[in-house]
Chains A and B, each alone.
Chain A
Amino acid sequence: MKINPIGIRPLCHFSIPCKDVEESVTFYEEILGARVYSDEIGEYRFGFSDEDKALGRGQHIFVEIAGQRVELAHGDPGGKPPVGTHHAFAIGPNDIPAIEGHLEEHGIPYNGPVTHKGTAAVSIYFSDPDGNALEFCCWDGYPRLSEIPLFQHVARRDTGFDWDAAARRARPKDGVTA
């Protein structure tokens, strides 16, 4: 148990705003290995039943990603990256090429790997289908850190894409290269 002066416990969950929560579930399943949360009350898919709709409940689905509960919540994603919050998932020093291959295989544009002045952190940045900013981050001593450029020294490319929920991969955005 971690000590906290207020006595609060670790992060319970965080939410990600999604235009279409069911489509976003396929993205988080495929790209981050998410699983729909489920226990004795059933699957954590709320706001879909007639009763829930009558109650005014927004659609939201809880998933689990590496032990973290994440709520994919229906709503206007608003904002544009890099404005707003981002969420970084940890990866190990041997996972950097593997993660790049994983994103490439799914047609997800990304920036990185880059490092941050004065730290050993190595980051790979990408977005979810609604433009919510995501990151894979290795803070555990990447052995070839000296070969990684600084964040500020690399031109950032557009990480927007259209997610094909049936194919479970991205398609390039029409005319986005213009």
Chain B
Amino acid sequence: MGVYNPLGIRGICHYSIPCSNVEKSLTFYEEIFGARLYADEIGEYKFGFSESDIALGRMQHIFVDIVGQRVELVAGQTGGKAPLGTHHAYGMGPNDIEVVQKHLADHGIPFRGPVTHKGTVAVSIYFKDPDGNALEFCCWDGYPKIDEVPTMYNQTRRDDSYEWDPVSRRGRSKAEEGAIR
């Protein structure tokens, strides 16, 4: 059973991420978060693609599982600009901070951090999905070298936008793109 809640709420069922192209975003979440397309006795959770769904006016949405969390990648206007709007942070362990940075760097994803937050032991690495939705890896479990991590507010923020290539499954920074052109 879940954790106590006075209203009997059982925790997060799912949350949605607005995507300009849900199938393209699926490759990003598979590659960067290890997402798996959700499937059970009713089949794969890819809705809004069939002719009957389109006739019904169903918007495209795909459910994936990320570490036991159901996430809905939904077609829609992405709007907003980070750091406005919501962000979602996934946990990482104290030994994963270097691993996660390499993981992002290997995929050509620009990121900010690690940074810490005044008065806490949280260590954050910030980046974005291909539509600019704000994401974070967060270690709240006691990073042993926290004294070496700068606080967020003293950092200059660099541009962390990029183009996601769903075929090679890696990002290409806007700056890099300029150089290619």
Contacts and interface: CB of A to CB of B under 8 A. Distances in A.
B99 interface: yes
Instruction: With a 10 A CB-CB cut-off, give which of A75, A77, A95, A118 has the most chain B CB atoms.
Output: A118
A119 to B, nearest CB: 6
Contacts of A102: 7
A7 B96 contact: yes
Interface in A88-143: 88-92, 95, 98-99, 102, 116-119, 132, 135-137, 139
A175 interface: no
Given A33-B9, A89-B11, A56 B153 contact: yes
Interface string B90-105: 1111001001100100
B42 A68 contact: no
Nearest to A31: B7
B83 interface: yes
A83 B12 contact: no
B16 A11 contact: no
B103 A6 contact: yes
Across the A-B interface, the 7 shortest Cβ-Cβ residue pairs? A67-B3, A9-B91, A90-B13, A2-B68, A5-B34, A90-B10, A66-B5
Nearest to A121: B13
Interface stretch (B117-125, B142-150, B173-181): B117-125
Contact of B86 (A17, A67, A76): A17
Contacts of A117: 47, 53, 56, 58
A21 to B, nearest CB: 14
Interface residues of A, number: 58
B77 interface: yes
A163 to B, nearest CB: 17
A87 B71 CA distance: 9
A25 interface: no
Interface string B40-84: 001000010000010011100000001111000000111111011
Contact of B34 (A4, A66, A87): A4
A9 B92 contact: yes
Given A78-B85, A102-B7, A46 B117 contact: yes
| Size range of the chain B interface in the assembly | 35 or more
Contact of B69 (A11, A76, A78, A152): A11
Q: Give the dominant DSSP class at B's interface.
A: loop
Contacts of A85: 15-18, 85-86, 133
A8 to B, nearest CB: 5
B56 A87 contact: no
B70 to A, nearest CB: 8
A68 to B, nearest CB: 5
A125 B3 CA distance: 23
A14 interface: yes
A148 interface: no
B137 interface: yes
A55 B32 CA distance: 32
B89 interface: yes
Contact of B13 (A2, A10, A77, A89): A89
B86 A88 contact: no
B79 A83 contact: yes
B74 to A, nearest CB: 8
